[in-house]
Each structure stands twice: as structure tokens, then as C-alpha cells.
Amino acid sequence: MPTYTPLDSNITCNPVFFINDDVEACELFETATQRIQAARDLLNSVTCLSTELAEGADLQHVASAAHLLLQDGCDALKALGWKVGKGG
């Protein structure tokens, strides 16, 4: 039976999102890579925008999305570390 670790990005007392600890290391790596690259691309788009036209709320939304993607990617890397015996 698979074991699951809650993502650190859960904001409720009862976690909703989890990492399946029993998947292959390559799947954890691919998941982490996807999320970190998505955050990188999102932040790269922000660097190309004129901040004079951006609203404070818009930048906050982008920062929140980037943070969430990076946190999930870091959680997947942490699980990968456990899998390859490096700890947390």
C-alpha cells in the first residue's frame, strides 16, 4: 500500500495534497523539475513586463503562484532525497 507525505504548501489542518513516497525516483525528479521550471518561466515573464503598468495585486498573484510551484518542487526534491538515502 502506498505511503503519502503531505505537501508543505497545504494550508488547512487536514492536508489535501500529498506526494506518493512509493513512486520511482525519476518520477519525483520529473515532478520537481516541472514545477521549478514553471515557476522560473512565470518569473521570467514578470521580468519582461513593465512594472509601471502592473498593479500591486497582479505582482502578488504571480509571486504567490511562483511560491506555490517552488514549494511543491522542493517537496518533491525532499522526497527524492529520502528515496536516494540523502535524508531531508
Q: Which tens digits make up the pLDDT trace of 13-66?
A: 999 999 999 999 999 999 999 999 999 999 998 888 777 777 778 888 899 999
Domain assignment of residue 54, yes or no: yes
Number of domains in the chain: 1
Residue 88 belongs to some domain of the structure: no
pLDDT beyond 60 at 88 = no
Residue 85 has pLDDT above 90, yes or no: no
Q: What is the pLDDT of residue 1?
A: 80
Instruction: Report the candidate in 41, 37, 45 with the shortest Cα–Cα distance to residue 72.
Output: 37
- Domain range spanning residue 49? 4-83
